[in-house]
Structure 1
Amino acid sequence: MLRPAPRVRAAAPAALLATALWGIAVAAQAQIPPHSQAAGQAATQSNRIVAVVNGEVVSRSDIIGRARLFALNAGIAVAPEVLDRLTPQVTRLLIDERLRLQEVQRRRLPVTDAEVAEQIAELEQRNNLPNGALRAQLQQIGIQPRVLYDQIRTQIGWGRLLRQQLGPNAVPADAEVQDQIRNAKARAGQPEFLVSEIFIPIDDPRTEPETRRFVDEVIRQLRAGTAFPVAATQFSQAQTALQGGDLGWIRKEDVDPEVAAVIERMPPGAISNAIKVPGGYQIVALRQRRESGRDLATLLTVRQAYFPFSSALDPNNPTQQQRDQVDKAQRLAAGARSCDAVEQAARGGSGADRPVDPGQIRLETVTPPPLRAMLASLTPGKASQPILTPEGVMVMMVCTKEQRNLAEFTPEQAQQQLLRDRVELLSRQLQRDLRRRAQIEMRN
């Protein structure tokens, strides 16, 4: 069965957070007691002040809330020792976020409650949750909703500030774009890497051992199964955190030499050890590799009509309802001559997890292999034979089929790359400046 392909690059913070919070619904059902005896003892100190940032307080409860959000998304137990490991870096993260939000407010770039609510609504929609369900789930697992709301508010405001700071430079000149495209054509055949990153800075050399321990803990959780976008969203201080750490397709010349030396040796699917780079540590995940300018793909659009069974199928003793559903599928397979006909037949029949239109799909990535072979054999406008499963029967039709070079460097991609590099550099510079000018008082 085909489901909609996930969006690889996010256009807004909601897209990022939808990825980052994909596990909340599962975590809500996990056996993670939010009110253990140890947690109850910690609650008595929840209002303790940990830091004062330009006169604004960061409390112990703020840190616990964010640490719990990460831990629960990562699927790890919210035990006291886990919170202790996360506390130093979460504290630093919250201080940086407080500085960002203060700067957004100083520049009179307000983020309204309506904007935050809009992102929450999109989050719920992307995760197939009813209106208000996310807030209820956060409360169920012991997290105040404002922990998430504050994070969204800061991300929206910081992105707005960066766009304002870039001004005219936010739109690369045509000459710059064409130069990027010429360089890309000259690189044809050279290796490219699809990479995600987490960047954790070191602002004070005295705290480097503490930061390194935290980086190693994040790597351990990633290799234990934590989704990379979850960790990137929560802890990366690179601007790519807004895309779950996604750097896109890069060449070794696009990253620090220390990182390039690692990704050249990594197999796809691997997660690096901590890499010391100027300003901090970087963790990278290599998702794919290819030759620059060469990535031929077969792209399909498909329609599918699904007729569910009311009970699990016993092939030796089908029910009358199951026979009727199979008859519907057979008539559709024999008579459908267009994708519109399949779509019309599917109305009211397909479940939410089996959409009529799964979106554009790449044939080479379809699983299982028999389904891929079946789609490859279909000519556009010809329906498949009924596909029988224990839960129902389905008919599929290929609407369009085209060959495309996905590695072709387009003007839009050149603009995005130029803008991404500028935004990342500006974000790091501004963050360093804010810390240098800030009055930060740490309390024991």
Structure 2
Amino acid sequence: MKQILVYSVLAAALLAAVPSAHAQMLPQAQPAGGGASGIACPQALDCIVAVVEEDTILKSELDAAIQAVTKQYAQNPGQLPPPNILARQVLDRLILMKLQVQKANDQNIHVTDQDIDQAVANVAQQNKMSTDQLQGAVTQDGMTWAGFRQQISDQLLTQKLHESVVRDQVTVTDAEVNNLLASPTYKAGEVHLAHIQISTPAEGGAADIAQAQAKAEKAIADIKAGKDFNAAAIQYSDAPDALDGGDLGWRRLDEVPPAFADAVSSLKPGESTPALRGPTGFHILKLVETRQPGRQVVTEYHARQILIKPSEIVTPEQAEKKAQDIYTQLTEKKGDFTKLAKDDSKDNTTANAGGDMGWFQKDAWGQAISTQLDGLKDNEVSKPFQTDAGWIVMQLLGTRQSDVTDESQRNQARQAIGNRKADQAYEDFLRQSRSEAYVDIRVPELKDPDDKQASAPTPASN
């Protein structure tokens, strides 16, 4: 699942501006010159530019999002499409976000203030800031702190919605993993990709397909004529990552659909594919860079533990004292670890085995145990340390280097199949949601002439 993005100007592109209580309906075409969107509101500072089901998008929201994108590309303004196309691209992203938030609410998916606080803290940490410093940076960029928190909340909601949509739809069997690894088309290695996606309507006909193909060919012609691929993505792509220049980041080749992987495999870094037909439309892929996997050798630890847990009859203080007594017996050679573990340990998975935890990678048992391993020598017993489960006394029995390449390859293949299925399932969900939604774009200039849904909204089904 995708994590909260590091704070950047682009993150503000989906910020919801504080709605005006007196927002007015926008009539027909308005002259340019009204803020970043070029839309002027008659007799009002703010007005509605689009209705999405029972929600609205205000001109102030659209202006703020366009300004954020424009600021992000301040050093490379030539990568941005003409203002009218940029406004359509940004509006479409806002519509998609509104729909996802509404779907999450319909499914009773919620985020708590604690969830938002933790996500904000993560953003601050990733940017090497305190939360107060992050708040200052946000307000300095002209955004409200409440609006920034709302954007984080919306991102968390869409993440949970994604999990909900794919949870029951995506399963991966051992047979699928075996088939992928045995397939002659299986390709190891990783690729850094960018893409342009020209979608066709969910129930589109031959005319829609021809129109999308023509748009894809126009994008390819511009790229061949020297237009930067990322700029072309911003202008032509209707994928959610278009405003990121279509950057897909690093992906394992086995995560890329086989037909596309074959096309990418024949490219050199910097080259792009022709328009590739997929189930949802046409795709143009650019190979940015490649890298090959190496053997994966990890350190594994063999240890055993005794867990003393507080309970209704054992206070936390008594649990700590009991753990300390056990440590003293072990270090003074007055007790046997195996017997003490069987008699006293409250860990159901290891107690009957004399506390034996088997061989494991460092983080397998959690951060507290991982931290203790760093300070132990072979056969050394740790002082009692506290975890969420209780007080633990642990002995490190040994370490070894293990080649986990094959195991890792199977895990990666399983994950690749799961990610591919999840991406397809969620993309289908979004396309269906968009096609069924009532979306009324009130400004003719903001309607995409190629988008029938924008030109002729369909009333929401009951």
TM range (shorter): 0.5 to 0.7
- 3-state secondary structure, aligned to 1:245: strand
AA at the equivalent of 1:21: S
1:61 corresponds to which residue? 60
Give the Å deviation of 1:409: 4.6
Question: How many angstroms apart in 1 are the aligned matches of 2:146 and 2:216?
Answer: 27
Give the Å deviation of 1:120: 2.0
Give the Å deviation of 1:195: 3.7
Q: Does 1:255 align with 2:260?
A: no
- Call closer, same or farther: CA 1:186–1:214 in 2, change over 3 Å: closer
Give the Å deviation of 1:106: 0.9
- Call closer, same or farther: CA 1:430–1:419 in 2, change over 3 Å: same
Max radius of gyration: which structure?
A: 2
Give the Å deviation of 1:142: 3.4
2:360 corresponds to which residue? none
Q: Deviations over 1:179-200 (max 9, x none)?
A: 4145315549856551434445
AA at the equivalent of 1:201: S
Give the unaligned 5+ runs of structure 2. Answer: 12-32, 300-398, 444-462
AA at the equivalent of 2:84: D
Give the Å deviation of 1:148: 4.8
Retained in 2: the 8 A contact 1:195–1:247? yes
RMSD: 4.8
Question: How many angstroms apart in 2 are the aligned matches of 1:272 and 1:44?
Answer: 41
Question: How many angstroms apart in 2 are the aligned matches of 1:267 and 1:407?
Answer: 28
Question: How many angstroms apart in 2 are the aligned matches of 1:150 and 1:197?
Answer: 29
Question: How many angstroms apart in 1 are the aligned matches of 2:59 and 2:216?
Answer: 19
- Call closer, same or farther: CA 1:111–1:189 in 2, change over 3 Å: closer
Give the alignment's TM-score, normalised by structure 1: 0.54
Retained in 2: the 8 A contact 1:49–1:59? yes
Matches within 5 A, 1:13-162: 13-14=3-4, 17-18=5-6, 21=8, 39=35, 45=41, 47-76=46-75, 83-145=83-145, 148-162=148-162
Question: How many angstroms apart in 2 are the aligned matches of 1:217 and 1:144?
Answer: 39
AA at the equivalent of 1:418: I
Give the Å deviation of 1:431: 1.2
Q: Deviations over 1:106-137 (max 9, x none)?
A: 11111234322321221111111222333332
Query: Of 188, 199, 202, which aligns to 1:201?
Result: 199
Q: Deviations over 1:154-209 (max 9, x none)?
A: 33222322323444555x45xx1354145315549856551434445344749857
2:18 corresponds to which residue? none
Q: Does 1:433 align with 2:432?
A: yes
Q: Deviations over 1:275-332 (max 9, x none)?
A: 56442443534344467xx6347999xxxxxxxxxxxxxxxxxxxxxxxxxxxxxxxx
AA at the equivalent of 2:422: V
Retained in 2: the 8 A contact 1:296–1:404? yes
Q: Identity rate of aligned residues, in percent?
A: 15
- 3-state secondary structure, aligned to 1:51: strand
Question: How many angstroms apart in 2 are the aligned matches of 1:144 and 1:44?
Answer: 23
Question: How many angstroms apart in 1 are the aligned matches of 2:138 and 2:77?
Answer: 14
RCO comparison, higher one (Cα < 8 Å, 6+): 1
- 3-state secondary structure, aligned to 1:110: coil
Q: Does 1:264 align with 2:261?
A: no
- 3-state secondary structure, aligned to 1:184: helix
- Call closer, same or farther: CA 1:133–1:98 in 2, change over 3 Å: same
Give the unaligned 5+ runs of structure 1. Answer: 1-10, 25-36, 301-399
Question: How many angstroms apart in 1 are the aligned matches of 2:298 and 2:217?
Answer: 43
Q: Does 1:245 align with 2:243?
A: no
2:387 corresponds to which residue? none
- Call closer, same or farther: CA 1:186–1:262 in 2, change over 3 Å: closer
Retained in 2: the 8 A contact 1:181–1:410? no
Q: Deviations over 1:321-356 (max 9, x none)?
A: xxxxxxxxxxxxxxxxxxxxxxxxxxxxxxxxxxxx
Question: How many angstroms apart in 2 are the aligned matches of 1:49 and 1:99?
Answer: 17
Question: How many angstroms apart in 2 are the aligned matches of 1:425 and 1:73?
Answer: 30
Give the Å deviation of 1:44: 6.2
- 3-state secondary structure, aligned to 2:193: strand
Q: Does 1:180 align with 2:183?
A: no
- 3-state secondary structure, aligned to 1:108: coil
Give the Å deviation of 1:87: 0.8
